[in-house]
Structures are given as structure tokens and as C-alpha cells.
Amino acid sequence: MPSEAATLGAAGEHYVLFQLLRRGFIAALAPHGVPMADIILSNRLGTKLCAGQVKTRSGIGADGGWHMNVKHETIREPSLFYCFVDLRNDEKSVPDVYVVPSEVVATVISETYQAWVAAPGKNGRVRKQHKLRRFVPDYTRYDCPKYSNGWLTAYRNSWDLLKGKNVQHE
């Protein structure tokens, strides 16, 4: 029996695939185990490719974000994008998807983690380095006003960003 996390991830991937196909993109799920791609996009001739990584949440978590890793700070591929899916807790709500280029994700993850490490922890303690990162819609509590509430809104359902990857039409 698949874990709850596995089924949640699959739901997010299929939702993103549905959104891409309904917009006329040629898209398919990547084979299981492909390290940086959950979804592959192509133009109609198959001569231009783009890959997508899907991160899914269901409204759980105080900061409203997604789990990331230190490796995401260095993945800056022009042909890679992330889809951050918020399925919400309410099954009747339409999910939000934030379509974000990998270069933006890497920059945000890196800058906000460095700010978090530099800020004093509980009772003024020095924070310890670790591999976990968070991609959140509001980094105010991390003392990053550049990425305060609303910064991620520009990427909500921004499927048109993928047209710039030259994969929709030939």
C-alpha cells in the first residue's frame, strides 16, 4: 500500500499534468526515478524539451510552504521549472499551482536560508547548519523582507511562463 506522502505526490503530479495538457502542451509523467524531473514537456516535433519538478502539499504546516533540500540551492537549469501545488485541506477547493523557474527557486532558497542561519535562534542561540530548506509564500519571520507576504503571487497559475521555454508550439 502506498504511503500518504506518495499518493499526495502523485495527486500533485497528475493535477499539473492535467493543467498542462488542457492548455495544449505536450506533456507526460517522467519515468519513476528520474532525479530532477517529474514531468517532461515537449514541442509538437519533439525537438525542444523542458522538465518540471512537482512539490505538493495539502494545507498542512504553519508556514504554508514546501519541503526542499540543500541541493535545490544549486539547481539552476533554464529548461527546468518547479510546480508547487497546494491541494489545501478542503477537497472542494481548486488547488493553486505556483510555476517557478529553477533559477528563482535556487536564489530564494539560498538567500532565505542564509538569512535564517545568520539570525539568532531561540534565546539568542546560534543556529546549526542542516540540509532542510523551506519554500514558503512569506519569509517575513526569516527576516527576509525581499520575500515577504505576496512575493510568490506572481507565480500562481503562471502557466504562460512555460511558453517562454519554447515547448508549446513549433
With cell 544549486, the residue in question is 74
In eight-state DSSP terms, residue 13 is H
| Amino acid type, 18 | F
| Amino acid type, 60 | I
Residue 42 lies in a domain: yes
Q: What is the DSSP string of 2-32?
A: --HHHHHHHHHHHHHHHHHHHTT-EEEEPPT
Among 42-51, 122-131, 132-141, 147-156, the minimum mean pLDDT is found in 42-51
Residue 47 lies in a domain: yes
Domain count, the chain: 1
Residue 36 lies in a domain: yes
Residue 124 lies in a domain: no
3-state secondary structure 104-138: HHHHHHHHHHHHHHHCCCHHHCCCCCCCEEEECCC
- Distance, CA of 32 to CA of 154 (rounded, Å): 31
Q: Which domain holds residue 160?
A: 4-104+152-165
- Distance, CA of 26 to CA of 10 (rounded, Å): 19
pLDDT in tens, 75-112: 999 999 999 999 987 778 899 999 999 999 999 999 99
Residue 136 lies in a domain: no
Residue 120 lies in a domain: no
CATH number where 55 lies:
3.40.1350.10
pLDDT in tens, 45-59: 777 889 999 999 987
Q: Given pLDDT bands bounded at 50, 70 and 90, which one contains residue 170?
A: very low
Residue 75 lies in a domain: yes
Residue 130 lies in a domain: no
